[in-house]
């Protein structure tokens, strides 16, 4: 007590206080022999580090101890950045493939449009999306003629005649020709800029037959006028309303009969029949005048005899198995689900594979493209069949249309029944809400008896 009072009032204790030992207290006997923990002293510095330490201490006033971890180059090695090095190398490889692939595809697309441009410019008034290049001078025309200039490729400007849709797709457009409203051309190339995706497509096509192996190809679709010039092309200015009506009332001079006919490569014949609805309406038969790697799909033998001209046969042979298909159709590609979707929409489709020849070699697909562009003229002049053939073709379309109408009527009847059942249920529920408990019980009993009698009648009829 005296020591406590001295501490409170600042009195000095002349006699040292007796501190009890841990060994004397039985509660702390287990800790009597434990060593006292002290802070570990810093290890001795090397001579070079000691000199740097003294210099740093003299500069900093001796307040901050020296350590080598302030210098990054002393506490890291190249091995610490191995993971980052792999990531940077992968990014570099991806970028290199991307720039190389896009550049290679652009080069292939320019070579393709350069080989097709003379034919397109010869057949159409407008080629490309940005218009044609500047016409040649009068001196050039007098010297060699415009046709020879176009054939030599002197007025071809690939960057003006095509458009890059993506790294692997390019497109071209042409219009301004008799019997043809327009033609769209699309070039599909390999994904050279993405080797992993390209390899994945090959692997999937190897294991699944429904997927075709990726290939470089050109798809063209030609839309004929088919007597719709007044609908697809606006009338020129200065025409009166009476002149416009008279023009529309004239019989169509660019029309031809409806039919589906195709020359197809046998490698994609089954896939094309499953993928396109219009091809499913035809029958397949080989023709002795054609090479053995193609077959004819037609609705009638008379149609084949009319369309299989010597010019077409020579153009098919010149492609050297690069032709995938040439299709003349009036039916949609996808199977229609409504009667309105089964309307006649005439078009001509062409698909050829891109040859891997140098730019100096002639493109073997140019002859089939030229015939493809002039095919509407032949159809307008001669594709008018005998009544028996037209009746057979029309009967096929009427059968398909009858199926669609039946399906549509069944769907509408089902919708009406569903709506009727819903209204009946709502009416029953509203009646039950207005009844008392006793009335609800009687109503439900009558309903069960009624359902029971109906089920008994059904069983009797089945028996």
Q: Does residue 139 lie in a domain region?
A: yes
Report how many domains make up the chain: 2
Quote the pLDDT of residue 405.
87
- 385 Cβ neighbours under 8 A, 6+ residues apart: 257, 259, 300, 302, 303, 306, 393
What is the total residue count of the chain? 463
Same domain, 363 and 414: no
Q: Does residue 17 lie in a domain region?
A: no
Q: Which residue has the higher pLDDT, 330 or 66?
A: 330
Confidence at 324, pLDDT banded by 50, 70, 90: very high
Quote the pLDDT of residue 410.
85
Confidence at 291, pLDDT banded by 50, 70, 90: very high
pTM tops 0.85: no
Same domain, 376 and 440: no
Q: Does residue 29 lie in a domain region?
A: no
Confidence at 4, pLDDT banded by 50, 70, 90: very low
Q: Does residue 449 lie in a domain region?
A: yes
Judge whether residue 311 has pLDDT over 90. Answer: yes
Judge whether residue 98 has pLDDT over 70. Answer: yes
Interior CA angle at 215 toward 266 and 89, to 5°?
Answer: 155
Quote the pLDDT of residue 36.
52
Contact 150, 118 (CB under 8 A): yes
Quote the pLDDT of residue 130.
61
Same domain, 422 and 447: yes
**385-412, pLDDT tens digit by residue?**
899 998 999 998 888 888 888 888 888 8
Same domain, 309 and 228: yes
Same domain, 258 and 400: no
Same domain, 322 and 271: yes
Q: Which residue has the higher pLDDT, 249 or 455?
A: 455
Q: What is the mean pLDDT of residues 365-384?
A: 93
End-of-domain residue from the set 391, 411, 429: 391
- 120 Cβ neighbours under 8 A, 6+ residues apart: 127, 161, 172, 174, 373
Confidence at 438, pLDDT banded by 50, 70, 90: confident
Q: Does residue 81 lie in a domain region?
A: no
Lookup: tokens for 76? 């890291």
Residue 295: what are its φ and ψ, rounded to 5°? Answer: -140, 165
Contact 141, 149 (CB under 8 A): yes
Same domain, 347 and 445: no
Q: Which residue has the higher pLDDT, 136 or 288?
A: 288
Residue 331's alpha-carbon distances to 261, 405, 428, in angstroms, are 11, 17, 49
Same domain, 380 and 397: no
Same domain, 445 and 396: yes
Q: Does residue 244 lie in a domain region?
A: no
Q: Does residue 307 lie in a domain region?
A: yes
Same domain, 417 and 277: no
Judge whether residue 361 has pLDDT over 90. Answer: no
Lookup: tokens for 105? 């595809």
Quote the pLDDT of residue 316.
94
End-of-domain residue from the set 391, 416, 443: 391
End-of-domain residue from the set 336, 371, 391: 391
- Token pair 């506490």 in the structure block, residue: 75
Q: Does residue 18 lie in a domain region?
A: no
Q: What is the mean pLDDT of residues 93-100?
A: 92
Q: What is the mean pLDDT of residues 257-277?
A: 91
Quote the pLDDT of residue 152.
45
**109-135, pLDDT tens digit by residue?**
998 888 898 899 899 988 887 644 444
Confidence at 150, pLDDT banded by 50, 70, 90: very low
Quote the pLDDT of residue 141.
39
Same domain, 297 and 442: no
Same domain, 117 and 96: yes
Domain of 422 in residue numbering reads as 392-462
């Amino acid at each position: 007590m005296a020591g406590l009072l001295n501490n409170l009032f600042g009195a000095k204790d002349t006699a040292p206080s007796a501190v009890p030992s841990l060994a004397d207290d039985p509660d702390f006997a287990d800790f009597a022999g434990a060593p006292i923990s002290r802070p570990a002293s810093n290890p001795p510095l090397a001579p070079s580090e000691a000199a740097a330490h003294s210099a740093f201490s003299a500069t900093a006033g001796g307040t901050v101890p020296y350590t080598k971890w302030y210098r990054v180059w002393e506490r890291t090695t190249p091995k610490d950045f191995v993971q980052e090095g792999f990531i940077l190398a992968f990014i570099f490889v991806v970028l290199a493939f991307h720039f190389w692939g896009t550049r290679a595809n652009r080069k292939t697309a320019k070579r393709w449009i350069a080989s097709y441009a003379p034919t397109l410019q010869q057949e159409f008034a407008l080629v490309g999306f940005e218009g044609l290049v500047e016409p040649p001078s009068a001196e050039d025309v007098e010297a060699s003629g415009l046709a020879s200039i176009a054939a030599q490729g002197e007025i071809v400007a690939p960057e003006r005649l095509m458009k890059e849709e993506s790294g692997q797709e390019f497109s071209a457009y042409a219009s301004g020709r008799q019997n043809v409203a327009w033609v769209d051309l699309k070039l599909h190339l390999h994904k050279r800029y993405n080797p992993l995706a390209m390899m994945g497509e090959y692997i999937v096509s190897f294991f699944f037959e429904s997927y075709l192996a990726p290939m470089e190809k050109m798809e063209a679709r030609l839309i004929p006028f088919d007597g719709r010039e007044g609908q697809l092309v606006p009338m020129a200015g200065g025409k009166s309303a009476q002149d416009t009506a008279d023009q529309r009332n004239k019989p169509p001079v660019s029309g031809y009969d409806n039919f589906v006919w195709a020359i197809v490569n046998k490698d994609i014949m089954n896939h094309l029949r499953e993928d396109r609805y219009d091809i499913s309406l035809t029958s397949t038969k080989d023709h002795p005048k054609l090479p053995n790697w193609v077959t004819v799909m037609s609705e009638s033998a008379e149609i084949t005899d009319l369309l299989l001209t010597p010019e077409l046969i020579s153009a098919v042979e010149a492609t050297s198995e690069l032709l995938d298909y040439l299709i003349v159709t009036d039916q949609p590609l996808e199977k229609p689900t409504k009667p309105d979707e089964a309307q006649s929409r005439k078009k001509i489709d062409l698909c050829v594979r891109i040859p891997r020849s140098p730019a100096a070699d002639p493109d073997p697909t140019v002859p089939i493209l030229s015939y493809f562009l002039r095919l509407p003229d032949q159809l307008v002049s001669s594709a008018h069949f005998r009544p028996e053939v037209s009746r057979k073709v029309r009967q096929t379309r009427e059968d398909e249309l009858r199926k669609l109408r039946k399906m549509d009527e069944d769907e509408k009847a089902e919708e009406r029944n569903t709506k009727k059942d819903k209204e009946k249920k709502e009416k029953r529920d509203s009646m039950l809400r207005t009844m008392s408990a006793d009335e609800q019980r009687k109503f439900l009993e009558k309903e069960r008896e009624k359902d029971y009698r109906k089920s008994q009648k059904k069983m009797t009829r089945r028996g």
